[in-house]
Structure formats: C-alpha cells, structure tokens
C-alpha cells in the first residue's frame, strides 16, 4: 500500500518505519528541514531501540521516503496517518492546533478515496472535527473517512510494541475504511493480534483511559509506599503480594519518584480536562495527578532530611531520563527534583548513561555533568538514584563509599528501589528507598 505519515516525531517516525517494515511504501512528512535531511541519511534525532536499522532498511529498499512538505507526492496515498504533537495547553487540555493544520493541508491533495488516520492522542470527538477540517479545505468532492487509531507504544520499546502489540484499536463507523485498515494491519491480523473495531470516540477514550489507569496504578503504589514508610512495612513485598493476584498484575507497581515522560503527565491532565468539558469529574485521575506532583516534593524532603539541609551540599544525582533506555527528559521527575535541589542551594553532580547531552541543554552550567557515575559521586555529600538504569545496579559500592565526602556513613537515597537496603547498609551506607519502612534484616521464611 502507499501510505503517508504526517509528522516524523517520535510516534510518526516509529509508525512510518514500522509500516515500511510491513512492506508498505511510506512517505514521512516532516516540516523541520534539518530533520528531513538527517532522516534521509538514516540519522534519527532521538534514541529508540531497533529503530535505526529499521529506518536504514526502509531507506535502502526505497520503502521509506522523507519529505518536507505535504504536496502532490501524498496524493496517491491510500492512507494518511496524522502523527503530530498534541502538547498540553496551560489549562491541561490537549493543543490540537497541529492536528487541524495537518488536516487542512492534506485536503487539497486528496484525489481519490483516502483514509485519514489519527495516531496523535486526541480528545473524544476529534475524529469528527478532523473530518470537518478536511471538508472545509477540499477543493473538490472527494470521498474520505477519518479513523482513530491510537498508539500504545512504550518509548524505548516502541518498535517491539508496534510489531507485537497487546491489541490494536481502530475507531471508525465506515466499513470501507475498516477494509482499508485491515489491509494496513494485515500482518498483525494474520499473527492473531486482538483488534478492537469500534467508534472513533471510543477509540479516542480508550487511549486516555489506558494511560490514566497506568498512571493511577503508579500513584496508587506510591501512596501505599508512603504508608509503608510510616508503618514500617516494605513496599516491594506489598507490591509483590498484590501483583501476584492476576486481576491486579505485577506491572506498574514499582514505587518511585512519580511518573514522567511525554505521555502520562500530559494525558492524565488532558483526561481531567475532557471530563470537565462534559460536566464530569474523574476524581481518581485528578488525585493521581496530585499525588504525582506531591511525590516529587516528598523526594526532595527525603534528600533534605538525609543531608541535614541542602544549602551548600553536593548531591550526586544518578539518572536524569524519565525512565531507563531512553534519552528523554520530558517531565522527568529527576529534572523536577534537580530544579528544586538547585533552588534550595545544593550543588549537583549529575550522570545519565544517555541523556547527558539533553541535561546540558536544559541546565547549562548550573550543574556539573559527569561522564561516569564515579565522577558524579566524588566528594558528594549524598548519592541519589533517580532513574533505574540497570548499570547503577552494578555500581561498585565500596568504591562509591571511598569517593564520597561523608566520612564514615555516607547516605544513599535510592528513589527507584534498585538495591536492597541490607546490601547497601552492608557497605556502610545509610540507606533510604521509597516505601521501605521495614528496617529488619532478612530471616528464614521472611521476604527481604
Ligand atoms: C506510556 C505507556 O506505557 C504506553 O503504553 C503509551 O503508548 C505511551 O505512554 C504513550 O501514550 O505514548 P512511556 O511514556 O514510554 O509509555 O513510559 P512508561 O514505560 O509507561 O513509563 C512512564 C513513567 O512511569 C516513567 O517515568 C516510569 O519510570 C514510571 N513508572 C512506570 C513508575 O514509576 N513505576 C512503574 O511501576 C512503572
């Protein structure tokens, strides 16, 4: 099939490359000329596992092309995906400007029946509004349908998630559009992937509801973690005890400094706004958002408490990306924590295996970026682990202890619970995790 993808940001580029991987001929349209030139050379502006070889393969086989403008070259496409950004407005609502702009620009080039697919995360009712935006800009009568097909890709695992999704959601009232979408996803249908064929509105809401549920699950476990600290209970044991119940499931029950990234914070806020626009409240999501904000403050308080005041202290901060495996700082709790530590007068020595370049862009000379974690801990008053990069799990804690500034009992604040308290204390550190209220040592028959 001939397919166009408008927007070659994170979602658009993954979609374009994976659709080309299915054997379709895909044109990716990206308005930033520098980005287009780089993409034509196979150079990707962010890190995403498995994406570079996929893009390179698509370019080589001429299944993947990149263009700067929506023009005649998209006219022959059977399907046009819109995958542009929908950032948060000040009031939390999703800003749909780019979506409608793309819809308006596509319209004059439609020559035959075309399916326009909304990949961007958009509020309920947007498919209809995109349909209208196209209608207004058509230069002649052309049949078309607008389909909602939200993405559920995890950053860092997006290529895998595209080829092996838990489900695909397609929202359209048109059987003609449905047939076209079946051709787009023929490979996944053949693989037995569950498909939900539904209305555009339901598809739009599924996306927000899924992200809000996962975000709520994280805020829930963070609240329970806070209770664990007060009640001398270990959160990991509680999460495991909960998660083994298949109805609950063990994933997204890792307590920490709160969720970040380009999706959960934005989409939870947008869902709150969508509900209000219907005269409803989603109180549980509103609370999840609030807890997430508070959690970052709690982490700063924890660090302040452990260091006996932040002013003039040197803090080693390991991990700045919003999660491991990505170089993305968007709404990263580590960034928010760093800002607050700086505001309180602390000096920061920071390391991240992938995101240091972006850290320099955001913080400039305000923090000291270190090329390895041992440089970051050198002469630090406290060590804070803010992102659960697997390499930090392998830190030589004896060496770390020697390098730190704090005499006999340095403090390690493990905001992602990557270590067990016992092992860290075994090296002579003071240890604080999140929700690790239980101070006991492991005994026979007891969980750590
Ligand atoms: C999320 C969803 O997981 C995807 O399904 C969805 O497609 C995507 O948003 C999107 O809407 O585009 P992503 O933002 O890549 O994916 O990140 P996640 O892996 O879900 O993690 C989000 C945040 O939650 C991270 O800061 C992570 O550290 C945190 N988290 C996750 C926890 O604090 N605890 C957990 O148990 C799990």
Whose tokens are 């403090």? That residue is 411
Domain range summary for the chain, segments of one domain joined by +: 2-198, 213-439
Note if 263 is an active site residue: yes
The reply to whether ligand 1 has any atom less than 6 angstroms from the CB of 81 is no
Which pLDDT belongs to residue 441?
A: 52
Domain 2-198 identical in fold to domain 213-439: yes
Residue 43 has pLDDT above 90, yes or no: yes
SS3 384: strand
Q: pLDDT tens across 117-131, in order?
A: 999 889 999 999 999
Question: Tokens representing 242?
Answer: 């909960």
Long-range contacts of 236-242 (CB under 8 A, 24+ apart): 236/417, 236/435, 236/436, 236/447, 236/448, 237/438, 237/447, 237/448, 238/435, 240/447
Which pLDDT belongs to residue 447?
A: 41
Which residue CA neighbors atom 7 of ligand 1 most closely? Answer: 152
Which pLDDT belongs to residue 444?
A: 41
What are φ and ψ of residue 325, in 5° steps? 90, 0
SS3 85: coil
Cα separation, 56 vs 161, in Å, equals 19
SS3 8: coil
What is the rounded average pLDDT for all residues in the chain? 94
Which pLDDT belongs to residue 406?
A: 65
Cα separation, 294 vs 289, in Å, equals 9
Instruction: Say if CB 70 and CB 377 are below 8 A apart.
Output: no
Q: pLDDT tens across 307-326, in order?
A: 999 999 999 999 999 999 99
CB contact set of 32 (below 8 Å; sequence gap of 6+):
none
Ligand 1 atom closest to residue 150's alpha carbon, by position in its atom list: 7
Q: What is the mean pLDDT of residues 54-68?
A: 96
Supply the DSSP symbol for 436.
B
Q: How far is CA 135 from CA 108, 301, 320, 388, in A?
A: 10, 54, 45, 48
Q: What is the mean pLDDT of residues 72-91?
A: 90
Ligand 1 atom closest to residue 388's alpha carbon, by position in its atom list: 28
The reply to whether ligand 1 has any atom less than 6 angstroms from the CB of 253 is yes
Pick the catalytic residue from 8, 18, 263, 370. Answer: 263
* Class (C level, CATH) for 213-439: alpha beta
Q: pLDDT tens across 187-244, in order?
A: 999 999 999 999 999 999 999 999 999 999 999 999 999 999 999 999 999 999 999 9
2-198: CATH, from 3.40.50.720, 1.10.3210.10, 3.40.920.10, 1.10.579.10: 3.40.50.720
Q: What is the mean pLDDT of residues 176-181?
A: 98
Q: What is the mean pLDDT of residues 260-272?
A: 95
Question: Tokens representing 277?
Answer: 């626009």
State how far Cα 243 lies from the chain centre: 22
The reply to whether ligand 1 has any atom less than 6 angstroms from the CB of 217 is no
Angle at 28 (CA atoms; ends 12, 9), nearest 5 degrees = 30
The reply to whether ligand 1 has any atom less than 6 angstroms from the CB of 119 is no
Q: What is the pTM of this model?
A: 0.94
269 C-alpha to center of ligand 1: Å? 15
Cα separation, 11 vs 152, in Å, equals 10
Cα separation, 305 vs 244, in Å, equals 34
Cα separation, 184 vs 22, in Å, equals 8
Count Cβ atoms within 10 A of the Cβ of residue 19 and give its class: 0-12 exposed, 13-18 middle, 19 or more buried: buried
387 C-alpha to center of ligand 1: Å? 13
């Amino acid at each position: 099939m001939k397919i166009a993808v408008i927007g070659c940001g994170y979602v658009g580029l993954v979609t374009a490359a994976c659709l080309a991987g299915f054997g379709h001929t895909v044109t990716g349209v990206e308005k930033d000329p520098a980005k287009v030139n780089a993409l034509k050379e196979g150079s990707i502006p962010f890190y995403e596992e498995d994406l570079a070889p996929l893009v390179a393969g698509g370019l080589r086989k001429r299944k993947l092309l990149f263009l700067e403008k929506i023009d005649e070259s998209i006219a022959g496409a059977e399907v046009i995906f819109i995958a542009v950004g929908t950032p948060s407005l000040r009031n939390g609502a999703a800003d749909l400007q780019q979506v409608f702009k793309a819809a308006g620009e596509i319209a004059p080039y439609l020559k035959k029946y075309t399916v326009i697919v909304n990949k961007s995360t958009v509020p309920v009712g947007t498919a209809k509004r995109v349909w209208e935006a196209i209608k207004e800009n058509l230069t002649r009568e052309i049949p078309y349908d607008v389909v909602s097909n939200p993405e559920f890709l995890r950053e860092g695992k997006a290529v895998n998630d595209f080829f092996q999704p838990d489900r695909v959601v397609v929202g359209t009232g048109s059987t003609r559009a449905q047939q076209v979408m079946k051709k787009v996803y023929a490979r996944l249908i053949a693989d037995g992937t569950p498909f939900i064929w539904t209305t555009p509105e339901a598809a739009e809401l599924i996306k927000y509801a899924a992200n809000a549920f996962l975000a709520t699950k994280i805020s829930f476990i963070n609240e329970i973690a806070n209770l664990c600290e007060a009640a001398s209970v270990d959160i990991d044991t509680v999460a495991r005890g909960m998660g083994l119940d298949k109805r609950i499931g063990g994933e997204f029950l890792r307590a920490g400094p709160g969720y970040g990234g380009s999706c959960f914070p934005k989409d939870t806020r947008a869902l709150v706004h969508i509900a209000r626009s219907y005269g409803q409240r989603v109180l549980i999501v509103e609370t999840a958002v609030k807890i997430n904000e508070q959690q970052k403050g709690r982490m700063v308080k924890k660090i302040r408490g452990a260091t006996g005041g932040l002013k003039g202290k040197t803090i080693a901060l390991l991990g700045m990306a919003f999660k491991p495996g990505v170089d993305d700082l968007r709404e990263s709790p580590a960034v928010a924590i760093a800002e607050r530590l700086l505001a309180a007068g602390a000096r920061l020595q920071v390391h991240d295996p992938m995101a240091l370049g972006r850290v320099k862009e955001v913080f400039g000379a305000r923090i000291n970026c270190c090329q390895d974690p041992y440089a970051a801990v050198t002469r630090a008053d406290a060590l804070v682990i803010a992102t659960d990069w697997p390499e930090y799990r392998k830190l030589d804690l004896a060496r770390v202890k020697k390098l730190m500034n704090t005499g006999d009992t340095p403090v390690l604040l493990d905001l992602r619970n990557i270590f067990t308290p016992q092992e860290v204390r075994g090296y002579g550190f003071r240890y604080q995790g999140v929700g690790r209220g239980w101070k006991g040592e492991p005994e026979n028959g007891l969980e750590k």
